[in-house]
Amino acid sequence: MISLTQAHPATVVADALVVICQSGPDGPTPLGDVPDDVAALVSATADVLGLTGGVDEVHRLPANGLRTRSLVLTGAGEEVTPESVRRAAGAATRTLAGLGKAAVVLPDDEPATLAAVAEGALLGAYTYTRYRLKPSKDEDKAPLGEVQLLLGHRATKAENRSAERAQVLADAVHGVRDLVNTAPNDLYPAAFAETARAEAKGVKGVKVTVLDDKALAAGGYGGLAGVGKGSTRPPRLVKVAYSPSRPKASVALVGKGITFDSGGISLKPAANMDEMKSDMAGAATVLATVLAAARLSLPVAVTAWCALAENMPSGTAQRPSDVLTTYGGTTVEVLNTDAEGRLVLADALAAAVEEEPDLVVDVATLTGAQIIALGRRVAAVMGTDDARDEVVAAAAAAGESVWPMPLPEDLKEGLKSKVADLANTGERWGGTLTAGLFLAEFVGTTPWAHVDFAGPAYNVGTAYGYTPVGGTGMGVRTLLTLLESRAAL
């Protein structure tokens, strides 16, 4: 929970007072309207404690002379930007699990700074404890309960709206993290569909439609049906539509929702297969984004298409060399059953463009090649030029790391099949781009962007900034910013 107050840092009552510091040649500099004794403490203890104000640096000290129990100094690095203060605020609140309330000193009076600090502080206040019988370490404690931003003046309507948006955004990101972190024995296609129904209940203007395995087979959704054949838990296509009264635009968001990916008959190596519970992050992201847009009453019609299946090996599983007929009639030869995400996305993309949206964006943990190309913190964006650039611009504004990638014509040759319209894999090199070229076959002339965030969607390393271990919730901020940009046109 977040609140705004005009209380001064010297008089505010809280469990912790968070001060953001900038690093510089003369040591760390506390930012904002901080008490003189806090500034003096930072200067006096910098050498002793190794304070630099560097990125992700957090120090918690006794709050002598203040009405808070502790003082938390968090670094923004040398360059103070919305993203650096977002990350600093998140790094601080991430260390405060188990506490009730923290007050954060704003570095300046800029509206973008308030929004960034609010977002970062709320994003950092996250823990996942569903499967813990009792807390075993600090990370397993309940997250920080309340964030209070110290304005120094009475909050304006615009500032209150900014805080409210930050809360809606953080709730959406936390929802994605929860879904991604859920064990696959608890989160399977039907369970995801029921979660979507439950989360959408009571949200104004939102309607949920679920196609089960029988409806998918009858409707010609051969990609979803084929991928789901090997599992005892059949596939689903979940459509979550937000319809405001006077929309300025219509946007379709398509998400890959493989609730667990074993690779199917083309079985993955055992090492790190546990991470494949995260293969539904795209579906979780588009679901959360649509609900956030509805809660913010954005004047944009947004539809999420969650393509859900479990990819398992069994006697009923699809085989390499099987031929599927996807929604709309395109036939695909399955050369590798571990290239399943593009098959379920093909169905959902074809269904989405049938409704003639102004823009379609798909989000998927699609290829290991994305991680090889861009690492674990930067997502790849492909698509028609204007749509791709729109997503890249939205990500920059939101503070998420993406990189535009091409769709080279020469790689299409690798998708030719001897027996079908397409093969589901091409040559080894440029695998991320080949996957994008495959998806492009299902969007026609609709402006389209494809986001491959196989690495950034799931953090297998240590926590940093506002990003926890496990599900990150990346993508929600970018998509919501994109929708807000469309609403402002």
Is residue 458 a contact partner of residue 365, using CB atoms and an 8 Å limit? yes
DSSP 66: S
- Using the structure block, give the residue that is written with the tokens 């502790």: 70
CA distance 78 to 25: 9
CA distance 66 to 5: 17
- The pair phi, psi for residue 81, each rounded to 5°, is -130, 170
> Of these residues, 177, 342, 477, 486, which one is catalytic?
342
Does the active-site annotation cover 161? no
143: Cβ contacts below 8 Å, ≥ 6 apart: 93, 97, 125, 126, 127
> Of these residues, 69, 141, 268, 376, which one is catalytic?
268
Residue 108 tokens, joined: 């300046």
CA distance 488 to 397: 14
CA distance 349 to 366: 14
197, 286, 199, 207: which is closest to 241 by C-alpha?
207
Does the active-site annotation cover 207? no
> 476-488 and 281-295 helices cross at what angle (nearest 10)?
40
Neighbours of 214 (CB within 10 A): 10
436: Cβ contacts below 8 Å, ≥ 6 apart: 382, 383, 405, 407, 450, 452
Instruction: Catalogue the active-site residues.
Output: 268, 342
